[in-house]
Amino acid sequence: MRINRTNIIRIIFMVYICAVFTLTFIVRETMILRNPDSRGVILIPFREFDAFLHQPNHRFWFMQIFLNVLMLVPFGFLFPLISERFKSLPLTVFSGFVLSSSIEIMQYITGRGVTEIDDVINNTAGAFVGYLMYALVREYMKKREYV
């Protein structure tokens, strides 16, 4: 395999994906191994936003939302860089949705974590934010090349 920028980005992307799966299946916020008996399903959309606004523990709910968005920001940024055919916003966001949905389904099947629709919504938003960052950096780089 010839080492070039695209191959380095692909390696970084694969390491990132491995880190996401480790985080979502093995490690909790408390850094304890996830137990296979923590299965649950919450299909109420925007429940975390409602809890953030109306429950006293605002920091906890903010972190739940923020960290789930943040988790797929690198995906949205790196995915368009791994191949020319992945450079579209809809494909990147849809792929982030598929990745997040797959994680939630696998968490349900394995019983390692709670399956939540809010996680899918927030992760997909993270892929969108990551793509916007990619687009901004791409535009900046294009302008710098012509200066």
φ, ψ of residue 2 in degrees (nearest 5): -80, 130
Q: What percent of the chain has pLDDT over 90?
A: 56
pLDDT value of position 25: 80
Higher pLDDT, 9 or 114: 9
Mean pLDDT of 5-32: 82
* pTM as predicted: 0.86
Q: In the 8-state DSSP scheme, what is residue 31?
A: S
Amino acid at position 57, single letter? N
Average pLDDT over residues 95-118: 92
Question: What is the reported pLDDT for 30?
Answer: 46
Give the other-Cβ count within 10 Å of 87's Cβ.
16
Closest C-alpha among 94, 70, 54, 59 to residue 16: 70
Average pLDDT in the 54-73 region? 91
